[in-house]
Amino acid sequence: MTTFKKAERINSLPQQFFATLTGKVQEVLKQGHDVINLGQGNPDQPTPRHIVDAMVKAVNSPGNHKYSPFRGLDSFKEAISVFYKREYGVDINPHEEVAVLFGGKAGLVELPQCLLNPGDTVLVPDPGYPDYLSGVSLAEARMVKMPLKEENHFLPQYGKIPMEEREKAKLMFLNYPNNPTGAVADKPFFEETTALAKKHGICVVHDFAYGAIGFDGKKPISFLEADGAKDTGIEIYTLSKTYNMAGWRVGFAVGNKSVIDSINILQDHMYVSLFGAVQEAAVEALLGSQGCVEELVAAYESRRKTFINGLRGIGWDVKAPAGSFFAWLKVPEGFTSEEFSDYLLEEVNVAVAPGVGFGEYGEGYVRAGLLTSEARLGEAVKRIENLKLFDKKIDRNEK
């Protein structure tokens, strides 16, 4: 069989981090071990029943067996507008300020291709979601890292970005609640962001994947709540996390209409539109009962308490995430993040993600997902305790 040479753009793509992690876990599973997998970000609960029922009804509608309108159903875009007004007090024009996406990831990878030319500069958080780099690579753009450090609450410090780079930048990725650190941002930070973006002509892309998941009674805020935010960028929202619809591949971008237009033009050439039944189910998710969201956040908060207090109880000095469903944990002295991840997997069959997989400044941490039962999280703590790596002189109460 002839082997055809890959295009340079394919060869230049970064290694798919989660594929590598999955491969390591699968090898241990093949050996017959019981792995507690905290390494990936796949929601473990089913999609709420009322959303599934809406999907079943919509699948049986012959109208959905045809091509959907190119840029999505008006009913879905109107539901998005209602959702943003209800949840964040933000006015969204459903016809000019909404792009329907095949999951949030698709939009994040498409954006650099929509707005950048080869050699253009992109500001990217480090650590951050690895697929930001995929879009930058496909656009043949140039990446400048914005370090996220614990001493600054895992927020970028714009004043430390060299002025020359700020002036060159055309695009900036942000993500709060943050993957992988679990940090959240407040309105003053987003207002500082819009001021910077306006001054230098930067388009801000806020990845709001974990927008529903905040703890201690604090709801995460939207970037678009900041004054002038729609003038300077967009927000990408996915139904994957809020409604446990990860496999449905449905999300949307909202905000600056020129950016939305660019996304729509690119997608006109790549797709027709998302299956109409999925869009109708998404309408039910956004406009139907939100009790399922409240229950989900409460479940994650309870899991957070079990896991964080458990780890502190065995002497691991860790901090509770303020949002998202991830815990960002400092590795013990003497290990790199990858060495410690491999050690946990090999010795006690607990899988976590090494921080360095999220960027240079993720070194020294591992990410654990709160995506299994409290019993399994408790079992993971006991397994880690058996390694006798920590001093137990730590208050059990989370901070």
- What is the CATH number for 14? 3.90.1150.10
- Quick check: is 394 in a domain? no
Instruction: Write down which residue in 287, 322, 343 finishes a domain.
Output: 287
Any residues with CB less than 8 A from the CB of 31 and at least 6 apart, and which?
none
Average pLDDT of span 126-132: 94
- Quick check: is 363 in a domain? yes
Do 282 and 296 sit in the same domain of this protein? no
- Which DSSP string do the residues of 288-325 spell out, in sequence order? S--HHHHHHHHHHHHHHHHHHHHHHHTT------SBSS
Q: What is the pLDDT of residue 12?
A: 85
Q: What is the pLDDT of residue 396?
A: 47
Segments forming the whole domain that contains residue 363:
8-46+291-385
Q: How far is it, in rounded angstroms, from Cα 361 to Cα 149?
A: 8
User: How confident is the model over 274-286, as pLDDT tens digits?
Assistant: 999 999 999 999 9
Q: Which residue has the tokens 């006690």?
A: 348
- Quick check: is 392 in a domain? no
Average pLDDT, the chain: 94
Q: How far is it, in rounded angstroms, from Cα 129 to Cα 105?
A: 10
- Quick check: is 94 in a domain? yes
Do 373 and 358 sit in the same domain of this protein? yes
- Quick check: is 390 in a domain? no
Beta strand pairing status for 98-101 and 251-255? Answer: antiparallel
User: How confident is the model over 149-179, as pLDDT tens digits?
Assistant: 999 999 999 999 999 999 999 999 999 999 9
Q: How confident is the model at residue 115 (pLDDT cuts 50, 70, 90)?
A: very high
Q: What is the pLDDT of residue 18?
A: 72
User: How confident is the model over 25-70, as pLDDT tens digits?
Assistant: 888 889 998 999 999 888 999 999 999 999 999 999 999 999 999 9
Do 92 and 180 sit in the same domain of this protein? yes
Q: What is the pLDDT of residue 29?
A: 84
| Cα angle: 205, vertex 157, 308; to 5 degrees | 85
Q: How far is it, in rounded angstroms, from Cα 399 to Cα 387?
A: 24
Any residues with CB less than 8 A from the CB of 192 and at least 6 apart, and which?
158
Count of beta carbons in the 10 Å neighbourhood of residue 151: 6
| pLDDT-above-90 percentage for the chain | 87
Residue 386 dihedral angles phi and psi, to the nearest 5° = -65, -15
Domain count along the chain: 2
Q: What is the pLDDT of residue 393?
A: 52
Look up residue 374 and give its two tokens.
């409290």
pLDDT at residue 362 is higher than 50: yes
Look up residue 216 and give its two tokens.
């201690």
| This prediction's pTM | 0.94
Do 208 and 311 sit in the same domain of this protein? no
Q: How far is it, in rounded angstroms, from Cα 47 to Cα 52?
A: 7
Q: How confident is the model at residue 399 (pLDDT cuts 50, 70, 90)?
A: very low
CATH code, domain with 103: 3.40.640.10
- Quick check: is 391 in a domain? no
Any residues with CB less than 8 A from the CB of 240 and at least 6 apart, and which?
43, 103, 104, 209, 246, 248, 251
